[in-house]
Structure 1
Amino acid sequence: MNKFWVIVFHTYLNKLKTKSFIITTIITALILVALTNMEKIIDVFNSDDNGTNVGVIYDVESVYTLFKQNVNVMDKDIHLKEFTSESKAKQAVESGELDSYLLLSLNDKQLPQAVYKANSLAESNLSSTLEQAVQQTKVAMATVKIGLEEKQIDQLYSPVSFKKKALVENAKTEQELNQARGLVYVLLFVIYFAVIMYGSMIAMEVATEKSSRVMEILVSSVSPITQMFAKIIGIALLSLTQLAVILSVGYTSLKASVETNHNGIFSYLGFNDVPLTTFVYAFVFFILGYFLFATLAAFLGSLVSRIEDVQQMITPMTLVIVAAFLIAMFGLGDPETTIITVTSFIPFFAPMIMFLRVGMLNVPVWEVSVSIGILVVTITALAIFGARVYKGGVLMYGQSTSFKDIKKALQLTKKET
């Protein structure tokens, strides 16, 4: 048992001190700080920005006045400048005085129409805003022509009353669903990247030791099964350490960015009403997902002798994780669909999909228990099978990039026993 913990902490401390781990942690933490302070960063870069200047050439003063009012309501950063001719407006664009210009006129029905011109049409937000302003101007003029009174116009454009109520008594409200959706979205990304990154790390660790012939020394002193599970636990501790650092930095940065609002961090994000069980399930499914794919990655890594072959060998596993993530992203919009329900009980999809359902819906306890039970059984079966493959796989050398090598590894295990 002492040898087991020696390998655990050896794996943990060695990876903890590597430049790649430190750099990855720092870069990820900096990205989180940047994302949580994005508004401040944008304000710094836009501090010298005086808005967007748009020239307008028009025929009717009243149409331009109404159009200008609509633009000011929609976006105060758009500054309209009057021009008497298109040639002058074009020169102003070329000199940098204007960003673009608009030809505002009346059609044969005496309703407004416009032509937008700019050096580039890549800036779609500006043209869309101007188009909406022209549309509102047209609607206002058309309603006046029809003879509608101001009260009638207000009634016409007043928002419709549309309330949503669930028939099931304990079903989540729309507000609760939106809060849960935000949390689930964030945690799904955490599970997805953690499983991919640390699963690959385990496979690389095994392949590196084999390529350096360290494995031959280890096998003579410690059983391969002890090695496999020690490495899995060691990388698990490493992942939790890295996640703790990153999440702590993100939490602190986000909390600092909203201090002026005098609101708690979870209040700001709308997570106040999210049940504690959601966070518990996030941790449970994260751990189960990690051990499921980590065990798979460990014995796949034991089949290769060169680091260059690791990615090719674990590609099918990575594709399964990607598929689970894509299904989960689809499920955020419709968590009650059949494919989400079915895949939440399939072991390689359950860590993400069942957590999605638990976070978004009121799932019966027995369904969650069945899903967790299936995961535990699968992890146990995979651990037993993976240990046998690992025991023979660590003794295999040469080019190994095919799943046929699993059979060879099992044969070597039988010979050893």
Structure 2
Amino acid sequence: MRKFWIVFLHTYLSRVKTKGYIISSAIFLLIICGIFYVPDIIERFSGDSEDPVVAVIDETENQQLYEALSTSADGYQPMLFDGNEEEAKQAVENEEYEGLLVLSQSEQNLPQAVFYGMQLMNSTSDDIEAQLQQIKVAQAATQAGVDEATIQEIYTPVSFEREALDKEAKTEEELAGSYGLVYILVFALYMSVIVYGMMIATDITNEKSSRVMEILISSSSPVGQMFAKILAIGMMGLTQVALITVAVYTMIQIRGEELGGGFIDFIGIANASPVTLTFALIFFILGYFLYATICAGLGSVVSRMEDVQQLVSPVIFLVMGAFFLSIYGLSSPDSPIIVVASYIPFFTPMIMFLRIGMLGVPAWEIALSIAILVAAILLIAWVAAKVYRGGVLMYGKGGSFKQLKEALKLSGNIKK
């Protein structure tokens, strides 16, 4: 056991002290602080900006469309242009105006317009189109003899309320708070598995290529080394997560009142229950151990750094599949494919946590998924230990899954 902790502390301390780890942690902390100051930055750059001016040529009688637009203009300033279209277009090219709006009436005496801008994609033209649509509806209703009160009644949203019969179902407030939290934690798990899983595989391969592995296996058991490395790099990741958590908590204390509830509610911290956060930690740890064990086994059968990516890439694609399935599940958490995927060990850490965060999942379903996941981890760990035991002694060109069979065969010939 003493040798296990020696390998654990060596791996953990050597990784934590690296410049890459310190710099990446510092960048994460700066990003966290920057996120909480984004509203101030946006306000500083856009708070004092004036609405763009749009030149208007109104060909309707008494310039009635221009008058209607002027009273409802929002996000831009319409201004009558004293000249012809060519002069107005030239003024737009000279950046004197945001664009040129030519107003006219159709044969049915309804509004129509042409907007000339430097680019087709223009948010101002979208605002004008929406306001002209409202004017058109009002004029068409007037011509049809429909009064304004009837129009407002037609466009009034239908009264529609949702009531959950399941006592475990989440309220609208809980869902609003959980959405951002679930997305952030699913993304964090996705990145952690890829980064730290690849780190384990490359660390083992690097020791083999530098012949350090030959010294290590003579002083401690290969299986002990594997689990020591997995635990050490996992602890390194949790250290980084703890730093980020402290930074987020600190920024909430400093900036929480100034930002109001909108941003805090979106990321789900304000309404996050201890139970949800506990499951987040549980699935984060289990998901890490699942994929880290696979990566450790795969990394042990190659001895060149260029072969690591080729062998580990299927695992990365598997994690990506789980992540993209989770993104789909955010909008349809009760979909049959999401429910089924939540019991598949490779998808459980992300998908089941998503269901817990977005739905009221019965306790027996959660317990069953965790039991299946733990059983899968133990099985994979048993196989990976055998692969690792033989793989660390294999040198030469690798990168194919044939090496796994050879590693298992070699492991069976090694005397315990």
Q: Give the TM-score normalised by structure 2.
A: 0.94
Q: CA deviation at 1:255?
A: 4.7
Stretch deviating more after TM superposition (406-415 or 342-351): 406-415
2:138–2:148 contact (8 Å) kept in structure 1: no
1:59–1:105 contact (8 Å) kept in structure 2: yes
Which residue of the partner structure matches residue 142 of structure 1?
A: 140
Listed as ranges, the matches of 1:1-400 within 5 Å are 1-46=1-46, 49-60=49-60, 61-72=63-74, 75=75, 78-84=76-82, 85-123=84-122, 125-260=123-258, 269=267, 271-400=269-398
- State the Cα RMSD in Å: 1.9
Which residue of the partner structure matches residue 406 of structure 1?
A: 404
SS in 1 for 2:287: helix
Query: Aligned residues, how many?
Result: 412
1:104–1:113 contact (8 Å) kept in structure 2: yes
Stretch deviating more after TM superposition (223-232 or 172-181): 172-181
Deviations 1:280-300 (A, max 9, x none): 110000000001111111111
Q: Quick one: distance in 1 between partners of 2:333 and 2:9? A: 41
Q: Quick one: distance in 2 between partners of 1:230 and 1:197? A: 18
2:110–2:136 contact (8 Å) kept in structure 1: yes
1:196–1:318 contact (8 Å) kept in structure 2: yes
1:100–1:119 contact (8 Å) kept in structure 2: yes
Stretch deviating more after TM superposition (31-40 or 355-364): 31-40
SS in 1 for 2:73: helix
The amino acid that maps onto 2:29 is A
The amino acid that maps onto 2:181 is L
Q: Quick one: distance in 2 between partners of 1:153 and 1:256? A: 48
Q: Quick one: distance in 1 between partners of 2:109 and 2:191? A: 58
1:255–1:265 contact (8 Å) kept in structure 2: no
Stretch deviating more after TM superposition (97-106 or 271-280): 271-280
Stretch deviating more after TM superposition (29-38 or 182-191): 29-38
1:192–1:325 contact (8 Å) kept in structure 2: yes
Stretch deviating more after TM superposition (249-258 or 232-241): 249-258
Q: Quick one: distance in 2 between partners of 1:408 and 1:223? A: 19
Q: Give the TM-score normalised by structure 1.
A: 0.93
Stretch deviating more after TM superposition (81-90 or 96-105): 81-90
SS in 2 for 1:226: helix
Q: Quick one: distance in 2 between partners of 1:238 and 1:135? A: 57
2:56–2:78 contact (8 Å) kept in structure 1: yes
The amino acid that maps onto 1:4 is F
Shift in CA distance, 118/264, structure 1 to aligned 2, threshold 3 Å: closer
Deviations 1:349-393 (A, max 9, x none): 111111111111121111111111111111111111111110110
The amino acid that maps onto 1:364 is P
1:288–1:376 contact (8 Å) kept in structure 2: yes
Deviations 1:208-248 (A, max 9, x none): 11111100111111110111011011101100111111232
The amino acid that maps onto 2:361 is V
1:37–1:253 contact (8 Å) kept in structure 2: no
Shift in CA distance, 83/262, structure 1 to aligned 2, threshold 3 Å: closer
2:297–2:384 contact (8 Å) kept in structure 1: yes
Stretch deviating more after TM superposition (283-292 or 50-59): 50-59
Stretch deviating more after TM superposition (83-92 or 370-379): 83-92
1:258–1:268 contact (8 Å) kept in structure 2: no
The amino acid that maps onto 1:3 is K
2:223–2:385 contact (8 Å) kept in structure 1: yes
2:168–2:362 contact (8 Å) kept in structure 1: no
The amino acid that maps onto 1:230 is A
Q: CA deviation at 1:169?
A: 3.9
2:179–2:267 contact (8 Å) kept in structure 1: no
Q: CA deviation at 1:126?
A: 2.0
Q: CA deviation at 1:271?
A: 4.6
1:32–1:250 contact (8 Å) kept in structure 2: yes
SS in 2 for 1:114: strand
Q: CA deviation at 1:69?
A: 2.1
